């Protein structure tokens, strides 16, 4: 599949083929691995709208979302062999795709252009996960410990945390973007906060 595959995809293809005869994501991945570029095109069209909508919501810019959309699919191509189509616990191709997109957004947040926003997000997280006074560290040391703690969170919990504090989304919006029930998003956030408190006090 050519590197330009993820660009210039018409929006009308985004809904994807949902008929009974449509190949599954996993079948398309296998075809793509075998060199069928058309399979890759079907995957891009299938997820164009939901992925773009997700990226626009978390980065707040159509232009940047398009750039990250392209980067996401290039990363999919680069790491296609790492996707386990038989894994029952990985959430399938869609979950894998959105994890890659989230990582691309995280990379952007760490860049100088979003440093202020990232610091504001970190401050909010720090307030939620603040350890007892006798466990607290000062300044940069505290921030570095918090960053390390966030990296140790399960992917699903870290994703909700980032969307809540970095993108300032409501839980209803987070649930909609992740395709999960509201209670699930709230539960992940609660677990993430509790886990961070434990890690920060350790």
| Same domain assignment for residues 92 and 104 | yes
CATH of the domain at 199: 1.10.10.10
Q: Give the pLDDT confidence score for residue 123 in this predicted structure.
A: 62
pLDDT of residue 62 exceeding 50: yes
| Same domain assignment for residues 91 and 186 | no
| Same domain assignment for residues 79 and 173 | no
| Same domain assignment for residues 13 and 53 | yes
| Same domain assignment for residues 121 and 92 | no
State the Rg of the chain over Cα.
18
| Same domain assignment for residues 123 and 97 | no
| Same domain assignment for residues 33 and 128 | no
Mean pLDDT of 114-118: 50
Mean pLDDT of 106-113: 64
Query: CA–CA distance from 179 to each of 40, 50, 78, 142, 145 (Å)?
Result: 23, 10, 26, 33, 31
Phi and psi (nearest 5°) for 201?
-95, -5
Question: Where a domain ends, among 110, 144, 179?
Answer: 110
> What is the domain extent for residue 166?
114-202
**pLDDT tens digit sequence for 144-192:** 777 788 888 888 888 888 778 766 678 888 887 777 889 999 999 999 8
Each residue of 64-86: b (16+ CB within 10 Å) or e?
A: bbebbbbbbbbebeeeeeebebe
Question: What SS3 state is found at 146?
Answer: helix
| Same domain assignment for residues 64 and 147 | no
**Per-residue confidence at 111, pLDDT binned at 50, 70, 90?**
low
Give the total number of structural domains in the chain: 2
| Same domain assignment for residues 47 and 125 | no
| Same domain assignment for residues 99 and 119 | no
Residue 47: burial class (beta carbons within 10 Å; 0-12, 13-18, 19+): buried
């Amino acid at each position: 599949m050519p590197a330009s595959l993820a660009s210039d995809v018409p929006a009308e293809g985004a809904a994807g083929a949902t008929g009974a005869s449509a190949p599954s994501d996993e079948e398309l991945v296998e075809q793509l691995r075998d060199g069928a570029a058309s399979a890759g095109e079907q995957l891009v069209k299938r997820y164009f709208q939901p992925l773009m909508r997700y990226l626009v919501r978390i980065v707040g810019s159509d232009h940047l979302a398009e750039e990250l959309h392209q980067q996401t699919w290039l990363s999919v191509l680069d790491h296609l062999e790492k996707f386990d189509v038989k894994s029952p616990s990985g959430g399938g191709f869609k979950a894998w795709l959105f994890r890659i997109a989230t990582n691309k957004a995280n990379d952007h947040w760490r860049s100088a252009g979003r440093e202020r926003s990232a610091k504001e997000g970190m401050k909010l997280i720090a307030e939620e996960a603040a350890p007892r006074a006798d466990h607290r560290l000062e300044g940069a040391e505290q921030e570095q410990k918090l960053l390390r703690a966030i990296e140790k969170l399960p992917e699903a919990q870290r994703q909700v945390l980032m969307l809540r504090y970095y993108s300032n989304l409501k839980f209803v919006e987070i649930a909609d973007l992740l395709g999960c029930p509201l209670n699930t998003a709230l539960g992940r956030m609660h677990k993430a906060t509790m886990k961070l408190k434990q890690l920060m006090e350790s």
